[in-house]
Amino acid sequence: MINSLFLISHSGDIFLEKHWKSVISRSVCDYFLEAKEKAGDPENVAPVLQTPHHYLISIYRGKLFFLSVTQTEVPPLFVIEFLHRVADTFQDYFGDCSEVLIKENTVTVYELLEEMLDNGFPLATESNVLKEMIRPPTILRSVVNTLTGTTVFAEIQGVIEACVKLTGMPDLTLSFMNPRLLDDVSFHPCVRFKRWESEHVLSFIPPDGNFRLMSYHVSSQNLVAIPVYVKQNISFLETGSCGRLDITIGPKQTMGKTVESLMVTIPMPKSVLSVNLTATQGTYTFDLTTKVVLWDVGKLNPQKLPNLRGSISIQTGAPKPEENPSINIDMKLQQLAISGLKVSRLDMYGEKYKPFKGVKYVTKAGKFQVRT
């Protein structure tokens, strides 16, 4: 089973990644980049590399590395054949398999990868089958993809909240599968900082009840792709007193999890009098005082993407708004940490009884803004 796919340029820049099941930090690529430097010639990089926790299988096509990551042993030729099929599909869809064209068609690329693998196993890999499900890009589609694939700035602020109800004086150790991705951390006073510095393991005697064990920061260079994409078109006529709005939201990097509590907020220009919109899912409201459109989508259905479209009425004689409104997104994903942080194990010492242990992952949008 393929867990993750990274596309790496000839110079070693990771410019696209896709994950199935769970997020694997791009720090795993350090092993590959080290092997690339030692090899000198890209053609001489070993196609299969073993790391302490993963297997890295790669091909080199069109001055690009297609690097797959697996957590268990799989037949290497099986994976290599699939990677060549991915490269062939990109070439068929975009006319060439290059970094520029892949970046220009980011949304289509993610749609293709979503169909080509199902939970990490090859599903639809034939070009004619894929074209029935995903239309090849046109000039208009390429423009839209360019507008929805570009991240200006992104970072993750994460916390680990603990709920401890244990008798006695238990001594706990919490370890992670990928602690290297954390850029900045702060701890509850009960955590032994020296143990973290030397081993990147949390060692502590916990207080009773609920408390924040740790907070952390992941900067944009380690960030995985944002879990949803937004296709939008908000425009105002140069003359007249009207405008148009058309917004569609779809899943991008959800690792099979459902996007919940999806809410879209659009602060309109003060000259807007009213809106006449139709939502294919959920409900919308327009506040006449604050001039804010609020679209409560709910759960995101990947089989039928939610759309909000319609007309905007502006005060007669008012000039065309100087800037289009931004779109703010709120959402939640259960059992997914978009940072890629994963708990490896939790051990208890000092007490003889067997405790109940559980881990719950939640991703929430902080400030997710789309510029139109």
Give the model's pLDDT for residue 57.
Answer: 94
Q: Hey, what domains does the chain have and what are their CATH numbers?
A: 2-139 (3.30.450.60), 156-223+344-356 (2.60.40.1170), 228-334 (2.60.40.1170)
Average pLDDT of the residues of the chain: 86
Give the model's pLDDT for residue 240.
Answer: 60
| 171-176 vs 201-204, strand pairing mode | antiparallel
pLDDT by residue (tens digit) across 341-351?
A: 788 899 999 99
pLDDT by residue (tens digit) across 164-187?
A: 999 999 999 999 877 877 778 999
Average pLDDT value for residue range 256-265: 90
Average pLDDT value for residue range 15-43: 87
Q: Which of 177, 165, 220, 205 is nearest to 51 (CA)?
A: 177
Burial label for 307, CB within 10 Å (0-12, 13-18, 19+), is middle
List residues bridging with 364 in a β-sheet: 332
Residue 340 has pLDDT above 70, yes or no: yes
Give the model's pLDDT for residue 222.
Answer: 46
Distance between CA atoms of 122 and 2, rounded to whole angstroms?
9
Minimum mean pLDDT range among 138-147, 172-181, 187-196: 138-147
Name the band, by pLDDT with cuts 50, 70 and 90, for residue 151: low
Give the model's pLDDT for residue 140.
Answer: 44
Which amino acid belongs to residue 162?
Answer: A
Q: How many Cα neighbours within 13 Å face the side chain of 181?
A: 26
Give the model's pLDDT for residue 307.
Answer: 94
Check residue 45 and report its DSSP letter: S
Residue 40 has pLDDT above 50, yes or no: yes
